[in-house]
Chains A and B, each alone.
Chain A
Amino acid sequence: MQLRDKTMIMDETAMGRALTRIAHEIIERNKGVEKVAVVGIRRRGGPLAKRLAARIEEIEGVEVPVGILDITLYRDDLTTLASQPVVHRTEVNFNINGLIIVLVDDVLYTGRTVRAALDALIDLGRPKAIQLAVLVDRGHRELPIKADFIGRNVPTSRQEEIAVRVKEIDSKDEVVIQEIVDT
């Protein structure tokens, strides 16, 4: 399956503004960030979580713990994949008991990744609450999951893909809609 970029829906500036707004919303919703930690879902949730934490620190002057969650071992589609995906390390080096965890991912689609992430988090401890922040919500949920903080709602068809690119991995910041190319 080959994909071609169709429409750019967020550039670097728009992504930056969305993350800044989400940072403000996280602070407002939780009345500060005393008990808040940010955990990104591998792979692009990781850099986004770090940026959110940096913004929260700029605004509130409080350093919030940041972690990265690898959800491979919790996926519900392992028995249907031809070969096993590579497992990476989960790096949550703080006790999550009693914290409000803001889970961060780039795109919210079927909700299955978030379902796996919830299980993975709860195996690490018992947070006081878990909230969900995503840069793009593209719809088509298959599970009863919804985001607390959304950068942009983007109606899509299932034939399209959303590619979030971040500087840390893709050397640029942008969000594009891609379409499948017949070859």
Chain B
Amino acid sequence: MGFEQKKDLLGLRELSREDIELILNIALPMKDVIKRDIKKVPTLRGKALATVFYEPSTRTRTSFEIAGKYLSADTVNLTVSTSSVLKGESLRDTIKTIEVMGFDLLVMRHSMSGAPHYVARNTDMRIINAGDGANEHPTQALLDIFSIREKKGSLEDLKIAIVGDILHSRVARSNIYGLSKFGCEIRVVGPSTLMPPEIEKLGVKRYYSLDEALDGVDVINVLRIQRERQQIGLFPSLDEYANLYMISPEHLLRARDDVLVLHPGPLNRGIEISSQIADSNVAVINEQITNGVAVRMALLFLMMGGARDEIAN
């Protein structure tokens, strides 16, 4: 079953390589649209999408909003902290309310893994998972993969290191699910307390030494240290983390000369990435953000156009 026949985008785990390639290929002309003087096409005129974020987010949400607007869809952002959720409304009732207002698609972020899956089963709206707990963040991984492919030409046989808090990272998981479909060698590295047990079962190589992990890599994807999830003391201090795992010019010597550094943002400068690297031309952090809009435009186009039950002529 191709991607267009699926109702929702909940994770990269259930997408095929062909699905991912379709999305990335359509993101290319979408990126051209963003770069034009008139950054608007009439494609999704008359469609409506809502974003509902139960966790803080600026870039993902803004990215979806502007992606929808560039395609002429009406876009509404629901702010949960000021909404009826605080008055005790259940998730299911909130979603039903949005559905009956006539929205076609809902972009959702939630702190509980599986929340978008639950919602998807209980609504006719199409659902895009914009991050669920520590499970998946598929659109971030799609934009990462798009950025890598754009710079490297192909994903085949690349060595890619994912660095940091693997345990809490939905970005890491979606990247692993996505990239492993393209024949990349994926390495994960971080403190043992932030490394999920049996991570090798996802087909990745586990490292604890940053230098060993970066040896000969083509791409380094640096994860954000999620300070909001560190209250339970999984590492002694941010300074110690920075000493061992911060991506700095010295560590980069181990990687290939044409190494690419990605970071999903927001940056904790001096903790997981040094300013020297973040501001250098090996980093594609700003380009990732542009690519994020393009990839989300491609997804909205694929998911919101089209009749549900007609045969193409």
Interface residues of A (CB under 8 A from B): 70, 73-74, 78-84, 86-90, 119, 123-125
Contact = CB atoms under 8 A, between A and B. Distances in A.
A152 B25 CA distance: 36
Contact of A84 (B33, B46, B305): B305
Nearest to B71: A73
Interface of B: 2, 4-5, 22, 25-26, 28-30, 32-33, 36-38, 40-43, 46, 71, 298, 301-302, 305-307, 309-313
Contacts of B5: 83
Given A82-B311, A84-B301, A123-B36, A74 B29 contact: no
Contact of A119 (B32, B42, B71): B42
B307 A87 contact: no
Most chain A CB within 10 A, of B46, B301, B305, B307, is at B305
Contacts of A80: 307, 310
Contact of B306 (A84, A87, A90, A125): A84
Contacts of B310: 80-82
A86 B305 CA distance: 12
Contacts of A78: 43, 305-306
B209 to A, nearest CB: 43
B4 A84 contact: yes
A89 B26 CA distance: 9
A81 B26 contact: no
Contacts of B298: 87
Please provide the 9 A-B residue pairs with the shortest distance between their CB atoms, ordered closest to farther: A83-B4, A73-B41, A78-B305, A73-B43, A82-B312, A89-B29, A123-B38, A87-B29, A87-B26
B26 A82 contact: no
Contacts of A70: 29
Contacts of A125: 37
A83 B2 contact: yes
Contacts of B26: 86-87
Contacts of A87: 26, 29-30, 298, 301
9 contacts: A73-B29, A74-B42, A79-B46, A80-B310, A81-B312, A82-B310, A83-B4, A87-B26, A119-B42
Which of A81, A83, A86, A90 counts the most B-chain CB atoms under 10 A from its CB?
Answer: A83
Contacts of A90: 29, 32
Given A70-B29, A73-B41, 12 more contacts: A73-B43, A79-B46, A79-B306, A79-B307, A80-B307, A81-B306, A82-B309, A87-B30, A88-B29, A123-B38, A123-B41, A124-B36
Contacts of A86: 22, 25-26
Contact of B305 (A81, A119, A123): A81
Contacts of A74: 41-43
A119 B311 CA distance: 27
A125 B22 CA distance: 29
A84 B297 CA distance: 13
A89 B30 CA distance: 8
B57 to A, nearest CB: 27
Contact of B28 (A73, A84, A89, A123): A89
A84 B71 CA distance: 14
Contacts of B46: 79
A119 B41 CA distance: 9
A17 B310 CA distance: 42
A39 to B, nearest CB: 15
A137 to B, nearest CB: 22
Nearest to B310: A82
Contacts of B36: 123-124
